[in-house]
Amino acid sequence: MDHQEITVFQAKNSDHKIWDDFVLNRSDASPYHLFAWKLAIEASYGHPCYYLSAEKKGELVGILPLVHIHFFNIVNELTALPYCDVGNCICDADEVQDALLTEALSVQKSLNCKKLNIRGPLRETQLQSDGFIRERTGKVRMLLSLPPSSDELFSSFKSKLRSQVRKAVKNGVSFRWAGLTDLDTIYSVFSKNMHTLGSPVHSKTWLETILIHYKNRVKVGLVEFDGKAVGMGIILLGGQSVSIPWASTLREFNRLGPNMLLYWNFLKFSADNGYKIFDFGRSTEKEGTYRFKKQWGAQPVPLLWYSQKNNKCQKGDSVQASSNLRSTVEATWRKIPFPVANFIGPRLRKYTSL
The predicted structure's pLDDT at residue 152: 97
In the chain, the percentage of residues whose pLDDT exceeds 70 is 94
2-137+303-318 and 141-301 have identical folds: yes
* CATH classification code of 141-301: 3.40.630.30
Could you report the per-residue pLDDT of 138-163, keeping only the tens digit for each? 899 999 999 999 999 999 999 999 99
pLDDT at 323 over 60: no
Secondary structure of the chain in the HEC alphabet? CEECCEEEEECCHHHHHHHHHHHHCCCCCCHHHCHHHHHHHHHHCCCCEEEEEEEECCEEEEEEEEEEEEECCCEEEEEECCCCCCCCCEECCHHHHHHHHHHHHHHHHHHCCCEEEEECCCCCCHHHHHHEEECCCCCEEEEEECCCCHHHHHHHCCHHHHHHHHHHHHCCEEEEEECHHHHHHHHHHHHHHHHHHCCCCCCHHHHHHHHHHHHHHEEEEEEEECCEEEEEEEEEECCCEEEEEEEEECHHHHHHCHHHHHHHHHHHHHHHCCCCEEEEEEECCCCHHHHHHHCCCCEEEECCEEEECCCCCCCCCCCHHHHHHHHHHHHHHHHCCHHHHHHHHHHHHCCCCC
Q: Quick one: pLDDT band at residue 314, thresholds 50, 70, 90? A: very low
The predicted structure's pLDDT at residue 312: 45
Instruction: Please state whether the predicted TM-score (pTM) of the whole model is above 0.85.
Output: yes
The predicted structure's pLDDT at residue 334: 85
Residues 306 and 135 sit within 8 Å (Cβ to Cβ): yes
Mean pLDDT over the full length of the chain: 92
The residues spanned by each domain of the chain are: 2-137+303-318, 141-301
The predicted structure's pLDDT at residue 136: 87
pLDDT at 4 over 90: no
The predicted structure's pLDDT at residue 73: 87
pLDDT at 313 over 70: no
Burial of 7 (0-12, 13-18, 19+ CB in 10 A): middle
The predicted structure's pLDDT at residue 316: 44
Could you report the per-residue pLDDT of 221-241, keeping only the tens digit for each? 999 999 999 999 999 999 999
The predicted structure's pLDDT at residue 325: 55
The predicted structure's pLDDT at residue 315: 45
User: Strand 241-249 and strand 59-71: pairing?
Assistant: unpaired
Return the minimum-mean-pLDDT range out of 1-5, 25-29, 138-142, 302-306: 1-5
Could you report the per-residue pLDDT of 65-108, keeping only the tens digit for each? 999 999 998 999 999 999 999 999 999 999 999 999 999 999 99
Residues 73 and 97 sit within 8 Å (Cβ to Cβ): no
* CATH classification code of 2-137+303-318: 3.40.630.30
